[in-house]
Amino acid sequence: MINHQHAIETEITAVTVYTDRALVTRQGKISLTGAERALIVSNLPTTLDPASVRVSGKGSIGVKLQGVTIDRQYTTEPVADRIAQLTVQIDGLGADKRRLQSQIDTLKLQSNFVQGLREKTQESFSRSLARQQIGLEDTQNFLDFIGTKTTEYAFAGEDLRQQQQQIDKQLQSLRWQLEEVETPYSKESFEVAVAVEPSGAGEFQLELTYVVDRAHWTPLYDLRVQSSSNTIQLDYLAEICQTTGEDWSNVSLMLSTAKPGLGTLPPKLDPWYVDIAAPMPMRQRTMMMARSADALEFATAAPAGAGMASIDRLEESPPIEYAAETVVAEIFQQGSVVTFQLGGSGNIPSDGNPHKATIFNDNLPCRFEYIAMPRLVNFAYLQAKATNRTDGAVLLPGKANIFRDDVFVGTSQLENIASGQEFKLNLGIDEGIKIDRELSERQVDKTFLAGNRRITYAYRLKITNLLNNVNHIQINDQIPHSRTEQVKVKILKISPQIQPGELGRLVWELDLPANGRMEINYQFSIEHPEGVRVQGLDV
């Protein structure tokens, strides 16, 4: 047992989120007397990887950090007081509910009396009024009394019933809490004991870092294409989720693309065995689920300034701070690892919900092109092509919400886009380009050459630009491609002239004049032996 143990209160000050885990930094200050031999940090989450714990510190005195001990703690929370408290609350609400019910019953009796009075006196009142035994004023007063009381009792009853419903909700919540408290359980957590040897009395700040599971971030993009300015407004966002058991409140938040859990050495291929399946012993199953010791090398993947240090250091140099400029996040790139230091304070509760943070915004110039496949559809698809800035950040694979002139078009999956790399966005159909494809000729030769029949086909494509500007369009069509020597396909004419591609693919790159029209014509023949039926000519 270590003597002179002192608990130190810490709070999370910084978090680096990776794609499948997070690095948490805690700090706490304590006034040392010089007699302390261990500093205790309690109530750390069970998602913590014990092999990843590192400590460092600094202060007004020299302190030796001699070692770290990590233990699981099982604390049974005192429940007697809590049960008594919940029971008193439940009993009190039950009494309130009964009191309300008594008032509702009284109102019901009063309302029934008024309704009975109205029914019993209605006929006699009518006769007395007809015989002029009572006046109109008395009749009006009586009706006002009946109406006022009926309305008053109805509103009062509804108000009481709403109060009862609120009490029912509170009772349900309290009963659930009571059921949880009455169910015996122990709270599990980690406790870190840092062995210290202070040189005297003075202030000391302890820094503790560790890795937690059940945290990740994924890229998310909003891409807004503006036709009037030929630009793409790029909003680079991050969705951060965590259920680590700790809320991250007002912390310095950093996102990283590093994958520290993969270790530093390439994996080794073991022999691939097959065998008859057998039940797995429980101990072996537990061992397979244990965390990998590769987390010891986690510090090699951490970005500069993350606060990782060995336990024998006396004082940690303060991390370098960079002043934010015009972007929301500062971007650091070291090899293939990209790190985003988000501006402001991060607040990510441990609720499993996605929380969005903006990494940066940018405007990229773009150009528009159309692509069409008239054999399949008679309209054109609009595409925007842009190039990531040569000094810009790598755009990681992620979901992209695409807008065209502030109208939501749909979602797409953005692939990895390096700095200076061109990428394209599909913006859906554009009715400003009209395309008609028609069979202009089908001629069967009456004569047979060497026992072969020849059929000639001709197609005409009409492309109309209904827009007030010149637009580039790629037209994709095709002619048949034969799979057998018995069927021969021959191109007779292509206008405008192009060189056919593989498998009979025809691709034209055209600039459509504003409010203009263009035509494409091509002709081909098919020869096959007489009596042979050719499949696939339904074009």
Residue-wise DSSP of 151-196: HHHHHHHHHHHHHHHHHHHHHHHHHHHHHHHHS---EEEEEEEEEE
Pull the structure tokens for residue 232. 């793409």
The per-residue pLDDT for 313 is: 37
The per-residue pLDDT for 184 is: 62
What number is the average pLDDT over the span 506-530?
91
The per-residue pLDDT for 125 is: 64
Q: Does pLDDT of 475 surpass 90? A: yes
CA distance readout (Å), 57 to 11, 302, 307, 420, 460: 14, 18, 10, 43, 79
Q: Does pLDDT of 94 surpass 50? A: yes
Q: Does pLDDT of 48 surpass 90? A: yes
Q: Does pLDDT of 327 surpass 50? A: no
Question: Which of 63-72, 140-149, 325-334 has the highest average model confidence (pLDDT)?
Answer: 63-72
| Distance in angstroms (rounded) separating the CA atoms of residues 145 and 484 | 100
Q: Does pLDDT of 426 surpass 50? A: yes
| Distance in angstroms (rounded) separating the CA atoms of residues 408 and 91 | 54
| Distance in angstroms (rounded) separating the CA atoms of residues 254 and 376 | 48
The per-residue pLDDT for 55 is: 93
The per-residue pLDDT for 538 is: 61
Q: Does pLDDT of 489 surpass 80? A: yes
Mean pLDDT of the chain: 80
Q: Does pLDDT of 133 surpass 80? A: no
Q: Does pLDDT of 476 surpass 70? A: yes
CA distance readout (Å), 525 to 446, 457, 461, 480, 482: 14, 6, 18, 10, 12
Confidence at 336, pLDDT banded by 50, 70, 90:
low
Among 92-106, 169-183, 472-486, where is mean pLDDT lowest? 169-183
Confidence at 2, pLDDT banded by 50, 70, 90:
very low
Among 125-129, 372-376, 426-430, 519-523, where is mean pLDDT lowest? 125-129
Higher-pLDDT residue of 450 and 414 is 414
The per-residue pLDDT for 248 is: 93
CB-CB neighbours of 402 under 10 Å: 22
Q: Which residue has the tokens 């441990």?
A: 350
| Distance in angstroms (rounded) separating the CA atoms of residues 307 and 251 | 14
What number is the average pLDDT over the span 11-31?
93
Question: Which of 32-36, 265-269, 534-538 has the highest average model confidence (pLDDT)?
Answer: 32-36
Confidence at 357, pLDDT banded by 50, 70, 90:
confident
DSSP-derived letter for residue 449 is B
Strands 505-512 and 471-478, bridge-based pairing: antiparallel
Local structure of 395: helix, strand or coil:
strand
pTM over cut 0.75:
no
- The C-alpha angle with vertex 316 and arms to 313 and 318, in degrees rounded to 5, equals 170
The per-residue pLDDT for 161 is: 85
Residue 90 one-letter amino acid: I
CB-CB neighbours of 301 under 10 Å: 21
The per-residue pLDDT for 85 is: 84
Q: Which residues contact 260 (CB under 8 A, 6 or more apart)?
A: 18, 21, 211, 294, 295, 297, 298, 300, 301, 302
What number is the average pLDDT over the span 64-75?
88
The per-residue pLDDT for 314 is: 35
Q: What is the pLDDT of residues 193-223, one digit of tens each?
A: 999 999 999 999 999 999 999 999 999 999 9
What number is the average pLDDT over the span 420-431?
88
CA distance readout (Å), 273 to 269, 270, 276, 289, 458: 12, 9, 10, 21, 61
Strand partners for 358: 237
CA distance readout (Å), 191 to 7, 39, 70, 388, 444: 10, 10, 6, 47, 89
CB-CB neighbours of 13 under 10 Å: 16
| Distance in angstroms (rounded) separating the CA atoms of residues 103 and 96 | 11
Q: Which residues contact 134 (CB under 8 A, 6 or more apart)?
A: 125, 128
276 near 318, Cβ under 8 Å? no
382 near 352, Cβ under 8 Å? no
Q: Which residue has the tokens 């790159």?
A: 509
The per-residue pLDDT for 5 is: 85
- Which among 449, 469, 474 has a CA at the least distance from the CA of 528? 449
Alpha-helix runs per DSSP H in 240-329: 282-288
Q: Does pLDDT of 232 surpass 60? A: yes
Q: Quick one: three-class SS letters along 195-227?
A: EEEECCCEEEEEEEEEEECCEEEEEEEEEEEEC
The per-residue pLDDT for 123 is: 67
Strands 407-414 and 337-342, bridge-based pairing: unpaired
Q: Does pLDDT of 22 surpass 90? A: yes
Higher-pLDDT residue of 157 and 60 is 60
What number is the average pLDDT over the span 322-339?
57
What number is the average pLDDT over the span 95-103?
89
